[in-house]
Structure 1
Amino acid sequence: LPIEEWKAKKQAELKETIAAQKSVLQEVVQDGQRLADYLYGRGRLGSHITSGNAALVLQTLPQARVVLTSRDWDKFGRRVNKGAKGIPQLVRVNGYYNVGSIFDVSMTYGNKPYLIPEIKPEQMDKAIKELERLSPVNIIFQNEGVIGYDAEQHAIVFPTAMPQHEALARLPAEIVIATAEQHTPGISQA
């Protein structure tokens, strides 16, 4: 393949991936349920992946858990299944953006464990406080009552006995529900 054709092919691939990211992210913010599904999925994937790349992964494979390049999977002693098609991603190499591919753990095999992104216990308070800052309503911990967004109290409610990691896992979706409730009167939580 002549160099000019190769460059044109790579440039078209880059433009196509950028357009796909924009399109998927626009779809994500169309309604509260799509946004909640995206936020849950984004939380599973961890912070090493950009929002646009996460949106492409979750569109292709909604139940994706851990995504890495084939080279990174090799480092964990896992191999990409023969014939597995990678999910296109924008990657930055030497200051330039290129299109690369990543694979979910479900597309790999091997006996060795893989990295599971986790929030450390000492980071829980900070993470919850940051989400509280983003919430359109107060977040209350109390002994009884509704769990989740409560329209009557105009707050997100969790039991005081709920472990922090469970509250943190539910909080993004409850914030989305509260936000949708604020902007669309008449919608209630199912």
Structure 2
Amino acid sequence: MKPLTLYTNPQSRGRIIRWMLEELNVPYEVKVLQYGPEIKSAEFLALNPMGKVPVITHGDVVVTEAAAICAYLADQFADKQLAPAPDSPQRGNYYRWLFFAAGPLEMATTAKAYNWRLDADNAAAAGCGLYQDTLNALETALTQGPYICGEQFTAADVYVGSHIEWGMMFDTLEKRPAFTEYVQRLQAREAAIKANQLDDALLPEPA
């Protein structure tokens, strides 16, 4: 098996990939980078010129961006069944909501966090449109079953579920019943619990 390494920080989106890796249940190494000079070092910038985590290396392959990493890992370890089969009718929903969270949802919740103006005058030009439209669309993703792809838990749930959880935690996402019930279902998974424990153990001690 090609060596698999996660570059992360426990106070980052790297927690998404930690969870994804625990769902896969495959061996991997973790390299924790501290914010500041270390994460902007020449060595790390050679992997990700953005100077951001998460990043994975899988043999000679480097993948950045949490949604892309989730999709890549699901395909590389297809036997773990964390993506619908390529010929499955659910494959479209899998891609749709995985990248909806990476695009419109990320933009809408960021705009909410920083009080950026999104209204009838500019929403048509913004990828997320109006905030309420984004949330309503997201809610429809959760009507198919317990998971975004119906009965099958996938990498899309890892990614989308993380965004919903954080959005509700930081008040950038309304605590709608569909969202809270979905997150509770996901966070009860053994891999999610283990991933949180591993990352929490890396957090700095309170002053």
Q: Using structure 2 for the length normalisation, give the TM-score.
A: 0.24
Structure having the higher strand fraction is: 1
Q: Using structure 1 for the length normalisation, give the TM-score.
A: 0.25
Structure label with greater radius of gyration: 1
